[in-house]
Structure 1
Amino acid sequence: MRILITGGGGFLGQKLSRKLTEHGALRGQPITAMTLMDVAEPAKPKAGFPVTSLACDIADDVAVKALFADHGPFDVIYHLAAVVSGAAEADFDLGMRINLMGSIHLFQAARAQGNCPVVVYASSIAAHGGEEPEVIVDGVELNPQTSYGSQKVMGELLLNDMSRKGFLDGRGLRLPTVSIRPGKANAAASSFMSSIFRDTMQGDASNCPVGRDFLIFHTAPRTIIENLVIAAELDGAGFGFNRCLNLPGRSDTVGEMIDAMTRVFGPEAEARITWEADPVIEKIVHSWRNRVISEKALRLGFVQDKSFEDTVRWFLEDDIQRRPA
C-alpha cells in the first residue's frame, strides 16, 4: 500500500501522516511507503516504513508527472493541497493555478497510473451559498459565492466524472470550518474561527471580526483526521452516483463556542478577544452556509463532534503551544 499526501506540510497533512504511521495499515493492507509533498519539503513522521518528503509545485504539470514516475504508483492519494479562501479571493489567478489546475494535473497523473487509485479530495463547505436554502441537505445544487468555493466545485465535478469513467476511485469531502487549528493564522477567511480560541488560550490577543451571534459550521481536527481515514477505507460504490458529500459538523454561534471554551479553560482567554468588524471577512463568511444536515455521510459511517468542549480539550492535549514558565 503506497500513499501520497499532497499538502503534506500543512497541519492536516502532518496530522494525517502521523495517524497513518500509527495505524501502519489502510484498506486492510500494510502501508509500505508514504510520500509527502508540498510547496516546501514537509516534516517526516517516524514510521516503520519508508517516508519520502519532497517539495513540488502542484501547478507544474511536469513536476507532478515526475513525482508519480519517481515515487508511484500510488494506491491511495490524499489531495489536501490548496490556496486558502482569502488568498484565492484576493488573487484569482493564484487560486486557479493551484486549486483548479493543480487538481487537474494530479488527477490526470493518477489516471495515467492505470490502477484506479483511491483519491480522497478535500473540498469545502464554501461550495454552498447564494440562492441555496439556509439549511443544506444532501443533493442541494451547489452555488459557491467565492473563487475558492468555485475552484473546489470544479475539482469535485472532475473527480466525479473521472470516477464514473473508472479512471479514479474518488471520494470528495466538503470540510466544515476546522477549529481549533494549531499553528499561526493564515490567509483563510475563516482563520479567526481558530485564532480567537487558539491564540487567546496561548496568552495572546485575537480579534473577532464578526458578532457573537455569527453561526459557524465547524468540526475539530481530530474528527477531520478520523473522517479522512474513513473516506479511504470505505467502498467507493457506497457513495453512489455522486462521489462528493458534506461531512458532518456542528452549528454553534461564536458566543456559544466562547462560552464552551470558558467552561473548559476559564475566563482569561475570552478577556483577550477584541471585537473589531472587518467588512472583507464578513462579506466572505456571510456567503457560506452554516446549517448542514449530513445524512449521507453519517449513514456511510463518518463521525461527528459531540461538543465544542471536546474540541477545546483536544486542543489542550494535542496542539497548545505553552509559553516557557
Structure 2
Amino acid sequence: MQIIITGGGGFLGQKLASALLNSSLAFNELLLVDLKMPARLSDSPRLRCMEADLTQPGVLENVITANTSVVYHLAAIVSSHAEDDFDLGWKVNLDLTRQLLEACRRQPQKIRFVFSSSLAVYGGTLPECVTDTTALTPRSSYGAQKAACELLVNDYTAKAMWMGWRCVCRRSVFARVNQTAPLLLLSARLFVNRCRARRPSARYRKVCVCGFPARRR
C-alpha cells in the first residue's frame, strides 16, 4: 500500500506526513512530491521524497502507479499568487487536479483521492450555517479554481462509482507556512493594506461552516 502526498514539502504536507507515519495505519510507502523538499523530514524507511514538477509531461506516470492506494492532493498555487499569475493558477490548481484524477482513473485498483479545497469557494452574504449544499460563490480566481476542482472531483466520483472510488474534498482556511517568508494570502494582503491605510477592518458576523452552530464557551 502506497500513500502519496502532492505538495508534501509544504507546511500541511509535512504535518500530514508526520501524522501518517506516527499513526497505526498500515502502509508500505509514503511518497511526498513537491518542487522542493526540506533537507530532512524523517528517518522512517517507509518515507520517500521526490522533487518534481507534476505539471510536466510524463511525470505523473512515474508517480501514480499500480501500487498507489491513497492520494492526498495538497499541491496548489495559493491565494494572492493565483490572483497575480492567472495562467499559472489555473494550470496548477485546476489542470493538474484533472490530470491527477485521470492518472488515478487509468489504474486498475481502487484509489482513494483526498482533495484539499478552501473556504475561498464561498463569498458574499452567507447563511448562518454553511453546509455541503450551500452554493459555491467564489469572488477570487483562487476560489473559482478550488470550486471548479470540487465540481470536477464530484463528477469523477459519480462517473467512477462502479470502480469503487472514494473521493473527499476538505475545505481549509489557511496555514502560516514560514514566519519569515512573505504570506501569499489574499486575505492577509487585504488586512495589511487596511492597516497601512489606517482604516479599521470591516466587521464580520460569525458564520458556521460545515453545519455546526457556533457556540460561545
Query: Which category describes the TM-score, using the shorter chain as reference length?
Result: 0.7 to 0.9
As a proportion of its length, which structure holds more helix? Answer: 1
SS at match of 2:186: coil
**Pairing 1:100–2:94 present:** yes
Which of 11, 24, 27 is the matching residue for 1:31?
Answer: 27
SS at match of 2:103: helix
TM-score (ref. length: structure 1)? 0.57
**Pairing 1:292–2:208 present:** yes
Q: CA deviation at 1:181?
A: 4.7
**Pairing 1:185–2:182 present:** yes
**Pairing 1:165–2:81 present:** no
Residue in 1 that maps onto 2:18: 18
1:25-62, Cα deviation, whole Å (9 max, x unpaired)? 1xxxx121010001123455325442211112122242
Residue in 1 that maps onto 2:59: 63
Check the 8 A contact 1:9/1:43 in 2, yes or no. Answer: no
Aligned length: 208
Which of 126, 134, 151 is the matching residue for 1:133?
Answer: 126
Instruction: Pick closer, same or farther for the CA change 1:42–1:159 going to 2, 3 Å.
Output: farther
Q: CA deviation at 1:294?
A: 1.6
**Distance in 1 between the 2:147 and 2:109 partners?**
25
Moved over 6 A (4+): none
1:178-235, Cα deviation, whole Å (9 max, x unpaired)? 4x55443332223469xxxxxxxxxxxxx8444xxxxxxxxxxxxxxxxxxxxxxxxx
Percent identity between the two aligned chains = 31
**Distance in 2 between the 1:148 and 1:75 partners?**
28
- Unaligned stretches of 5+ in structure 2? none
TM-score (ref. length: structure 2)? 0.82
Instruction: Pick closer, same or farther for the CA change 1:126–1:278 going to 2, 3 Å.
Output: farther
Check the 8 A contact 1:74/1:117 in 2, yes or no. Answer: yes
Residue in 2 that maps onto 1:110: 104
**Distance in 2 between the 1:48 and 1:59 partners?**
28
Residue in 1 that maps onto 2:46: 50
Check the 8 A contact 1:7/1:79 in 2, yes or no. Answer: yes
Aligned Cα RMSD in Å?
A: 3.0
Instruction: Pick closer, same or farther for the CA change 1:79–1:43 going to 2, 3 Å.
Output: farther
Q: CA deviation at 1:115?
A: 1.8
Residue in 2 that maps onto 1:313: none
